[in-house]
Structure 1
Amino acid sequence: VRPVIKRRDTQTIHCPAAPAGVIDGSRADVSFIAGLITDKFCYHQPLYRQHQRLGDNGIRVSRPWLTQLTHAALALLEPVFTAQLDSIRASRIKAMDETPIKAGRAGPGKMKGGYFWPVYGERDEICFAYHEGRSGKHIAQTLGTDPPPEGAVLLTDGYAAYERYAQKCGLTRAQCWAHSRRKFFEAQSIEPERATQALEMIGQLYAVEQHIREAQLIGEARRAYRLAQAKPMVDRFFDWVDAQFESHGLLPSSPLTTALAYVRERRAALEVYLADPEVPIDTNHLERALRVVPMGRRNWLFCWTEVGAKYVGIAQSLIATCRLHDIDPYAYLVDVLQRVGQHPAADVAQLTPRLWKQHFAANPLRSDLHPRSK
């Protein structure tokens, strides 16, 4: 609300300029933009539902305008996303996976299939890089091809493309025990007795990890405990796997045969965590963080364009990382959307959620519409 005045001496009409917004020329306040993004990507409310809710409350805007606002705001945040991805690339321990997404039209009534490639760094940061397929080249596009830090480890599932990337870049590849366990779980209906044996042995490894968490063991203490307690269990497990093959009682098509072959082929990668205390036993921490994509996908189903999918990845990367660091995503977005345009480009990493919490969370920028305390 701005005053309009008429000068008596010149009879001219004057009005102060509108306050500068985070998006040039837009009538949307930063609080509206941050709320739009938070509702869509944090609480999985598609824009058409938000449009209905706005209309029900007497706010008449067009749906294309809401889409334009979302894209424009996330374009402002792309350098922050890039800085966070650089931080993850510099991590010694990284976990990576891929999850499908429909993005872009392939024809009338058909959508193209693409993939998010979530990667999780050792500083509790996650980025969802979008690529158009599941080819191994997208691993290099996401993680880069620069020499990795000394002793770097890439923790993944059993997809062979990760092994090729690790060999090419000189990484140690670790594999996830949860994915191995899943193979035996799926075999229970066909081979209940032996599949249950495998699950019980793997469960003992998880009991060791639970004790480590409860005792808060770190560093060399964690490594020594794993070698003393878990390594003998792992050796017995693989001895049991070899014995199952030697018994000649398995059909090649049996799910249990598939599970046994899966773990035996990947033994070296499954044992990496025993000697490296910083490597988790599985990728469950990544699976929990990437859950926002399947949850959102059930609501908004697909992205109209590949560019839209890229912006979904940017939003989910920053919001999911906010959750990992106990940051309110709305407060973060209100601050960073105002700050990013004036912040030195060389220091853009300070606006990633992890560093923002250190530098700005104590006194965040608010909207001009934010209620002032008396």
Structure 2
Amino acid sequence: MPSHLDSAQSTHAEAPALTASQLVDLVSKQEREIVNLRRQVAWFQRQIFGQKSEKRHPEPEGVQGVLGVGFDAVPGTPLPAKKTVVAGHERERKPKNPNDGADESTLFFDEKRVPVEVIAVPNPDMELLKPDQYEVIGEKVTHRLAQRPGSYVVLKYVRPLIKRSDTQALSCPPAPVGVIEGSRADVSFVVGMVIDKFDYHLPLYRQHRRLDDAGVKVSRPWLTQLMQSTVALLEPVYDAQLDSIRASRVKAMDEVPIKAGCASPGKMKTTYFWPIYGERDEICFTHSPSRAGDHVRDALGLSPPDKAVLLSDGYSAYSSYAKQVGLTHAQCWAHARREVYEAKDIEPVPAETALAFIAVLYEAKAHIRKNELSGAHKRARRQAHAKPAAERFFKWIDKHFEAQGFLPSSPFTKALNYIRERRAGLEVYLDDPDVAIDTNHLERALRVIPMGRKNWMFSWTELGVKRIGIVQSLLVTCRLHDLDPYDYLVDVLQRVGQHPASLVEQLTPRVWKTLFATNPLRSDLYKRDERR
């Protein structure tokens, strides 16, 4: 009777032997699978334990600590504490406790905008003395921040009704006209509702609950209808701002997903915002139902300005549009760097070398920003420092591809290939001072969409998404121009109904800042506070 060992040997004997080429293919396949799994594990570890920032912090040589060696062996000494020289000895200066009740030399609020209520604190020693036994020589002041929950105000307009003695005719002035015809909402309430929802991401149902807690009884549908009417008034201003961005020679563009509309019962559709950033610090969030490349053409148009440049990431829709209309397509170095950074955990040594090359480019950018260079001076700095570094980096990439020192499917090789294929677009900014090195300015501006998406999750209709884009375009542009969105919207909502349609561009934040910001229209509530 044959043993199990004999059976196993006979089975192996019957199995066909692999050829050399088959073995090579098998090993290559397993290597690719191992690299892919290592990349996935590294990504999960970074998400759970690592830092989300892509900042590079190279360790100074010789400072890295070693297991088993005491911390006192690490070179470097802490910075000395500030000291005060007193007769006979030195005393360390202790930080002042802001809560010790002492006077405050600098205010932490704007006295022109924050109402202050004065509370007199009696001195108990004064009660034991007669007025002629003491003298008030000064006072000390302490400020504390307070809050009233749901601070709403009702404006009560009292209009006298008179009857003339001679003609017996009745006369009464009309009620002030509101920004929403027939609505009982003052412009201050309308703007506060808009900013709470879109700037501070407070949904309407929470605002409704806060109103109810404050003793104001209104319906949820009333808030929704009020929001819709308000955004309808702002839409012409948004359209004028989009026209201004389209006329910019240099534009940056990206796409960000958002849930809108029902794809099927219980499932939302994934649609996209396509934010466009103009060269005059304006942004518009255009919306489309998909990520198809045709939407880039619909958003930017087919007639770009002379010598136009579009700055974007490596998505092929942008390069296709650039070829179609004949403009220059600039590529983002931050996205190129991200590809290398994500491969750092798999192949750290070559990835660190590549990141060091890219760091030189950003050192030039930091010098330009610090010294506020522009125009020819900015271009000269890039040509003298960034361009030679970029050329060395691309030569280094070509050298490594020629040596074939990397696995064909490794993440680092893919990152280098991503950069090499986009070399022409990545070098555009070196010769054009108006083009940024990356799209980080756009990424910062569009951050309101992911932040809001975590609060209101989705929009039930695509029309609702369009309204989100209109309001966020104006609010973010206000922030870019250091404007208070509240002051801006209170003024614009009162002007837009009477402003000539041909001059609607004057109401965009960029132009409004120069024309109306010094003397904006106010709410009657503001005028009442001034009288007080």
Q: Give the TM bin, normalised by the shorter chain.
A: over 0.9
Q: Give the secondary-structure state (helix, strand or coil) at the position aligned to 2:524.
A: coil
Which residue among 248, 256, 264 is the counterpart of 2:404? 248
In the other structure, the counterpart of 1:282 is 438
The residue aligned with 1:80 is 237
Q: Report which of the two structures shows the higher radius of gyration computed on alpha carbons.
A: 2
DSSP 3-state at the match of 1:282: coil
Secondary structure, counterpart of 1:369 in structure 2: helix
CA offsets 1:296-349 (integer angstroms, 9 cap, x no match):
111111111101100000000000000000100011111101100000000000
**In the alignment, what sits opposite 1:266?**
422
Point out the more displaced range, 317-326 or 50-59.
50-59
**One of 335, 345, 348 as aligned partner of 1:179:** 335
Aligned partner of residue 28 in structure 1, secondary structure: coil
Number of the residue aligned with 2:177: 20
Deviation at 1:6, TM superposition (A): 8.8
Which of the residues 194, 204, 229 maps onto 1:37?
194
Distance 1:262 1:16, change over 3 A: same
How many angstroms apart in 2 are the aligned matches of 1:336 and 1:5?
Answer: 32
- 1:103 maps to which of 242, 248, 260: 260
For residue 357 of structure 1, what is the aligned residue in structure 2?
Answer: 513
Matched, 1:202 2:202: no
- Identify the match of residue 58 of structure 1 among 215, 229, 239: 215
Aligned residue in 1 for 2:315: 159
Deviations 1:168-190 (A, max 9, x none): 11110000000000000100111
Structure with higher helix content: 1
Q: Which runs of 4+ in 1 moved over 6 A?
A: 6-15
Distance, in Å, in 1 between the alignment partners of 2:268 and 2:175 is 42
| Contact persistence 1:322–1:328 (CA under 8 A) | yes
SS across alignment from 1:238: helix
- Matched residue SS, 1:178: helix
Greater alpha carbon shift after TM alignment, 55-64 vs 356-365:
55-64
1:19, distance to aligned residue in structure 2 (A): 2.4
For the residue of structure 2 that corresponds to 1:133, the secondary structure is coil
User: SS where residue 80 of structure 1 aligns?
Assistant: helix
* 2:475 aligned with 1:319: yes
Deviation (angstroms), 1:165: 0.6
Contact 1:4 1:13 in 2 (8 A): no
Structure 2: runs of 5+ lacking an equivalent = 1-155
- Are 1:140 and 2:275 an aligned pair? no
Q: Number of matched residues? A: 373
Alpha carbons 2:308, 2:328 under 8 Å: kept = yes
Deviations 1:228-277 (A, max 9, x none): 11111101111111122222232232111110110010000000000111
Are residues 1:214 and 2:370 paired? yes
Are the counterparts in 1 of residues 164 and 170 from structure 2 also a CA contact under 8 Å? no
SS of the equivalent of 2:275 reads: strand
Report the Cα offset of residue 363 of structure 1.
0.8
Q: Cα distance, 1:82 vs. partner?
A: 0.5
The two structures have a TM-score, normalised by structure 1, of 0.96
Q: Distance in 1 between matches of 2:480 and 2:299?
A: 21
The answer as to whether partners of 2:240 and 2:505 remain within 8 angstroms in 1 is yes
- In the other structure, the counterpart of 1:114 is 271
In structure 1, the gaps of 5 or more residues are: none
TM-score relative to the length of structure 2: 0.68
Partners of 1:271 and 1:282 lie apart in 2 by: 11
Q: CA RMSD in A?
A: 1.9
1:142 aligned partner, one-letter code: A
